[in-house]
Structure 1
């Protein structure tokens, strides 16, 4: 199965010596590059209180990125519903759809997206709005609230009309995101498009996608199963350069998985000087073996093989190339070049 669409996942990385504003500028530049290279959609994640990640508020970022582009679909990968009231999310995305009609995706996740203390602060010390027992209910409410006609609420014997925005003519496309079979079952039951987090939880991707497809029930949102693949990717003219550019993110992931110090992302030169202990080196190798790191030819071939294996015609790449110490702070040439080289190779082959 050939790849018809390439898309982008962005965590808005912050590197050593870079301000939040400069990291945002680099992602705006990357989104523009993605659009000019022919990428289909551009999603931003929700993570909180992390020194190397600036994607804390997807609706704000989506407005910024959609305003800087013209045709690119922009969305969340995803909104972590346990952190938010469904009505607030419905209002945010209904407004985004009104401002950028036909271009907004709402990816919905169940994970908290941060540490327990930050999660407590997000909820004002109260309970989650999307616990495991009620997550499906909250997804239903969120999707219904975004309907142009709104929903009706019956309270104390009276009917109330509730609309996310007054005069909507469309709705954003909802997607359910997950890293377990729970999310696949729920997406299939509710007839929603679904994405499994292969880029960080890829051991059971095939089984989960098969479950989703086999159990899918058609709906007004999606008459047939819709899914794609997510992959961490670095592309450079040579394999050696691609490996060097990948190492800063490899080290960041090792620190995250082993309880190490979380800090702004190292430069490529700083990362090259780091020598991991044997146990951490084994973990790094295990994590990165699912990544696609290589030349345009080898990377596009690997992505084609993955797309064929998992039966998808769209691949969402998370460009994880690090930055050189001499790179401008408002751009990340390694990430931009990854998109350019990959698009040229994949689309030329098609």
Structure 2
């Protein structure tokens, strides 16, 4: 598929933000990637064009029936000046799993990656050089057919936008405070908890807002049936270091199969550490804290990479983790994965692609 290119003029170029106060998701680059899909024709007219508004029919099916999926990945500026991507094909392949679950069309992975690299080269000057800052990449697919009636749409739009970002959490790489909710649930077995669909995040907002109003950074979700078994944090998978085990909930259809989660498992196992994927209850975690076997908790995700957890709040009680400090394993994993992502360390897994 040929890539059509429409570049902005010099006078249309945006003023780039201060790299030391980027925040997350507030600024967007000059260009974006757009590719429509039409039933019977497939994907067509792959275009890199100026970042601009879309025009949607009020009957666009995404607005009524929620066929919307997305991914999150990053581009990193290495110390050698190179641009690096971390497991981008895995993200696009995971997007295809999301698409299949919502009866949306499959993306041509190789062609999307070629186009993504072209987009990154075009907006290369937007990739931050400040420590800890990156270029966040947001691929998205929505149903655009103008029609009412619950069925798969016949027209879709795939697009990629870019955003220079700093740390996802205001705390940066410092322990966060997590609120454990047994009032709301995120996903159920057989549902769509294992995919990145917009509705999952819409449904999580109320719990997140209530937690933030109470002074917490994020919500830890329990299972929807018994409300005992730990699933994941709103924006991260979760790990517990208990005794000589690193425990994380298993993938069972209600947990997102995180790319960073998988990376952590592979790295930790490569170090000879005992990683166990099993069901774990909130009561077990609190008991481990009580008897001293809980050493640390950390979350994993594209946005934050590794996020140490300093405390859990459950049923009115606060549980301090590792004296509220970053654990040694959290720090080691963060340093290792960041070094690989930035091309500063040998990549034995074949995860990194230089643009």
TM beyond 0.5: no
The structure with the greater share of residues assigned to helix is 1
TM range (shorter): under 0.3
Q: Larger RCO: Structure 1 or Structure 2 (Cα < 8 Å, ≥ 6 residues apart)?
A: 1
Query: Normalised by the size of structure 2, how large is the TM-score?
Result: 0.25
Query: Normalised by the size of structure 1, how large is the TM-score?
Result: 0.25
The structure with the greater share of residues assigned to strand is 2
